[in-house]
Amino acid sequence: MAKDPVRVLVTGAAGQIGYALVPMIARGVMLGPDQPVILHMLDIPPAAEALNGVKMELVDAAFPLLKGVVATTDVAEACAGVSVAVMVGGFPRKEGMERKDVMTKNVSIYKSQASALEQHAAPNCKVLVVANPANTNALILKEFAPSIPAKNITCLTRLDHNRALGQISERLGVQVSDVKNAIIWGNHSSTQYPDVNHATVKTSAGEKPVRQLVADDAWLNGEFITTVQQRGAAIIKARKLSSALSAASAACDHIRDWVLGTPEGTWVSMGVYSDGSYNVPAGLIYSFPVTCKNGEWSIVQGRSIDEFSRKKMDATAAELSEEKDLAYSCLS
């Protein structure tokens, strides 16, 4: 039996990440090779013409799974009946802008989009926030869409997770598909903590700990962490544009694993609403290791945390608490 199409919203769809993301969704990379989709693309009025150009290209690509395209600048029309919402649109920080200015702009964007999702999206809509500050944008969205379950509002740290896997694979000269169970803790910012204390590599002699194979704690506790934390800036320096294809690919990975499940014995990183696990303050959107099954994520419990990790986890939590306070001050 052919499946009914799923309506997927992409905001900021005429932008760089949107342009990389929509063909991936239309090809089945996000929801599977047998799942038809209807794409809902939203952008701001100044981008309407470019958005229409993206719609023309989607038609021209003749994707078999793509059963319809809605391209609009109307937020209510964009949100109507969507089961997956990927929030890529936001206000980027420009030179000379204070953090509070950027936060004020994003708080107002996410407040209005939360209301539209609440009123028009499908009841169990899964939301992924990509636009920065991603964790705090997701928190604002949660506040203003109270009927969407808190567990359905997440932010993207899979890009950081994939970056960590990539660095380990490059260092060891192994396939990235053989590296698993890194963890990104905390904020999608330069305070995030990429943790490989529980990560393993598949070898001919079975699974081996990353720390044992790398055999260089100074690198793992130093350069490895800063490389992953600052990878976005390094790509901007190289491309003069921010990460787009890797962000789009990670967004597909995040939703696909959430909807279709993680492989047995493997966890991934997702920014989710904290319940106090690992002594992270409840009420923050914080990146944890999670497994997914039957469309639900759950935090992987019982991983040992050493003193080095604890400090890093607390530092990124402190930044998120400060961002939360800043965001709430922008509301008043």
How do residues 50-89 score in pLDDT, each as one tens digit?
999 999 999 999 999 999 999 999 999 999 999 999 999 9
Is 17 among the annotated ligand-binding positions? Answer: yes
Is 16 among the annotated ligand-binding positions? Answer: yes
Residue 216: partners with Cβ closer than 8 Å, 6 or more residues away: none
Options 3.90.950.10, 3.30.479.30, 3.90.110.10, 3.40.50.300; CATH of 156-325: 3.90.110.10
Is 13 among the annotated ligand-binding positions? Answer: yes
Provide the CA 120 distance to its chain's centre, in angstroms. Answer: 22
CATH 3.40.50.720 residue spans of the chain: 4-153
CA distances (Å), origin 195, targets 80, 165, 229, 255, 292: 39, 11, 11, 22, 20
CB 129 within 8 A of CB 327: no
In 192-252, the DSSP E strands lie at: 193-195, 200-203, 206-209
How far apart, in whole angstroms, are the C-alpha atoms of residue 79 and residue 81?
A: 6
Q: Is the pLDDT of residue 331 over 90?
A: no
- pLDDT for 1: 74
User: Domain 4-153 class?
Assistant: alpha beta
How far apart, in whole angstroms, are the C-alpha atoms of residue 41 and residue 215?
A: 47
Is 271 among the annotated ligand-binding positions? Answer: no
Is 310 among the annotated ligand-binding positions? Answer: no
Instruction: Please give the radius of gyration of the chain, using alpha carbons only, rounded to the nearest integer.
Output: 19
Copy the structure tokens of residue 142: 């949660």
- pLDDT for 97: 79
- pLDDT for 100: 83
Q: Any idea which residues carry the catalytic annotation?
A: 188
Is 131 among the annotated ligand-binding positions? Answer: yes
- pLDDT for 101: 86
CATH 3.90.110.10 residue spans of the chain: 156-325
